[in-house]
Amino acid sequence: QVAPPGYPLISRNYKGDVSMSEIDYFMPLLMQKEEESALTPLLSRGKIHFLWIKHSNLYLVALTMKNANASLVYSFLYKVVEVFSEYFKELEEESIRDNFVIVYELLDELMDFGFPQTTDSKILQEYITQQGNKLDTGKSRVPATVTNAVSWRSEGIKYKKNEVFIDVIESVNLLVNANGSVLLSEIVGSIKLKVFLSGMPELRLGLNDRGQFKKQSVANGVEICVPVPSDADSPKFKTSIGSAKYLPEKDVVIWSIKSFPGGKEYLMRAHFGLPSVENEELEGRPPISVRFEIPYFTVSGIQVRYMKIIEKSGYQALPWVRYITQSGDYQLRTH
């Protein structure tokens, strides 16, 4: 969609329930709302809703008759901008006109019957390629990354020795005033992997639960699934499976673990003695910053119990675990 005339540059009707002529009303409606100082990201005309974004001299508009998930629609529109920009370097009217064929091909792969499909440009570039302004149709092979549903790891990776290096890192943030009272205390933790594994493995990481903090024997713990981690030799060789922040809630510490790339979040509560937080006092002198690193130790007591590696060939792999506690923003105020 091009401004100022607003003539439709290119379009794709995915479901057929909205007339193609409805887009003709978008630009006049947008200009009317702009004059009235009532312009919003969503415009409506009768039963038709226009969800739009602007990039350079282009308007990207999604039309729907339903009460669609607006955040999903806008995320898709911005993803279209990202994909087209990676293909054409610059997304503008000229790049669209010069690449009509590849644009239609991409639109067909990005969405199917109104549902977003393959939106990762790295996957798309494996089978929708361009030479100059022409689409390369010489190969119709579907890439392995599509069938495996991941873009960060190629199929066929092999290692003579399969290993996983696990780093459990905790940073202690502390602020103490000149009277010795704790103004702020928190622990920020992360779990990172460096993976040397063959094939397309799935990892399951077992952690201890809050029973360990009470020094009790607990049979069950917390298990995190890491579906197909990135390879150690790839540019993104470290797979971050956990990002945690501990905030004192009386005598309880809450560990929130969010798995990547799955996106699932797990909560683990632990009883841990922390000083109470008092009101901050104004003090003139700069605080003393402390730096330290303690190997083989975590303040929270979190531990890796086991690492299961699931791969169709059934090979065995060695997990190596390293615990580190280090200073974060650790400051002591003085008189």
Tell me, what's the pLDDT at 1? 42
Is the distance from CB of 244 to CB of 255 less than 8 angstroms? yes
Is the distance from CB of 156 to CB of 311 less than 8 angstroms? no
Q: Which two tokens stand for residue 45?
A: 């005309």
Tell me, what's the pLDDT at 324? 95
| DSSP assignment of 34-86 | HHTT---SEEEETTEEEEEEEETTEEEEEEESS---HHHHHHHHHHHHHHHHH
User: pLDDT tens digits, residue range 195-231?
Assistant: 899 998 988 888 886 444 444 433 455 667 776 777 6
66 CB-near residues (< 8 Å, 6+ apart): none
Please determine, looking at this structure, whether the domain spanning 20-125 carries the CATH number 3.30.450.60.
yes
Tell me, what's the pLDDT at 57? 84
- Better-predicted residue by pLDDT, 261 or 203: 203
Stretch(es) of the chain classified as CATH 3.30.450.60: 20-125
Q: In sequence order, what are the beta bridge partners of 257?
A: 266
Please determine, looking at this structure, whether the domain spanning 218-276+283-294 carries the CATH number 2.60.40.1170.
yes
The CA distance from 78 to 330, in Å, is: 40
Report how far apart, in Å, the C-alpha atoms of 228 and of each of 13, 45, 260 are.
35, 46, 10
Q: Is 63 exposed, middle or buried (0-12, 13-18, 19+ CB in 10 A)?
A: buried
With 70 as the cut, is the pLDDT of residue 245 above it? Answer: no
Structure-token match 């952690």, residue found: 207
CATH superfamily ID and name for 163-214+297-332? Mu homology domain, subdomain B (2.60.40.1170)
Find the range with the poorest average confidence among 36-40, 104-108, 138-142: 138-142
Predicted model pTM: 0.51
Amino acid, single-letter form, for residue 79? K
Amino acid, single-letter form, for residue 335? H
Stretch(es) of the chain classified as CATH 2.60.40.1170: 163-214+297-332, 218-276+283-294
